[in-house]
Structures are given as C-alpha cells and as structure tokens.
Amino acid sequence: MQTLDAICGVSATTGLMPTATGYAVFEANPGKLEQGCLVVISLYGATQFAKLMGTAFITEDGEAIEGEALEDIIVLGRVTYFVNRAGEDGCPVL
C-alpha cells in the first residue's frame, strides 16, 4: 500500500494548507512558475489560491492582481495536489 507521502511526493519543502473540503499540497520551492499554474499566495496577511495568467494573478473570486499590487504578494508555493476529506464512502479523492 502506498502512503500519501509517496503518492504526493512530500518532501522537506512541501506544505499543506487546509481547504473547505480537505487540504492543498503545495511545493514551497517551485522554481519558475508556468502560465496557468495554481499557487498559494499571501496578500496583506491573507492566504489564498490564485492562478498565474499573463503578468497577473487571478484569485478564486476572479480578482486580478497586477501592476503595483504584485509587490504586495508573497508566493508561498505551487499547488501540486488537493486531498479531500473522506466522505461517507470512506474514500478521499486525489
């Protein structure tokens, strides 16, 4: 049986962030970010998900963070997996 660590490639630079349905697994040292990748960002102390689109980050609520506002963003890492809590059937969805 494989462990979650093995399936998700958990390492010393891997982080976990709680979500409404489980956890997001993210790589804290992602190297160069690719267009369309989902990242965890910190903006004014609030942690949220955003997608890199062009020169902007698009948040879950559709807000575009671009221009001078980018100076206030800290990219915490690139999301690699979402792990959902087990439902009634006892099986999480990866």
Q: Please state, in angstroms and as integers, the Cα–Cα distance from residue 68 to each residue in 22, 42, 65, 85, following that order.
A: 33, 15, 9, 38
Query: What is the amino acid identity at position 13?
Result: T
Among 34, 72, 65, smallest CA distance to 50 is for 65
Does residue 93 carry a pLDDT above 70? no
Q: What is the per-residue pLDDT for 41?
A: 94
Which residues, other chains included, contact 49 with Cβ-Cβ below 8 Å and sequence gap of 6+? 24, 38, 39, 40, 41, 59, 60, 79
Dihedral of CA 57/63/68/70: which sign? negative
pLDDT in tens, 62-80: 999 999 999 999 999 999 9
Q: What is the per-residue pLDDT for 11?
A: 77
How much is the pTM?
A: 0.78
Does residue 18 carry a pLDDT above 80? yes
Q: What is the per-residue pLDDT for 2?
A: 66
Task: Collapse the DSSP code of 42 into the 3-class scheme (helix H, G, I; strand E, B; otherwise coil) and give the result.
Answer: strand
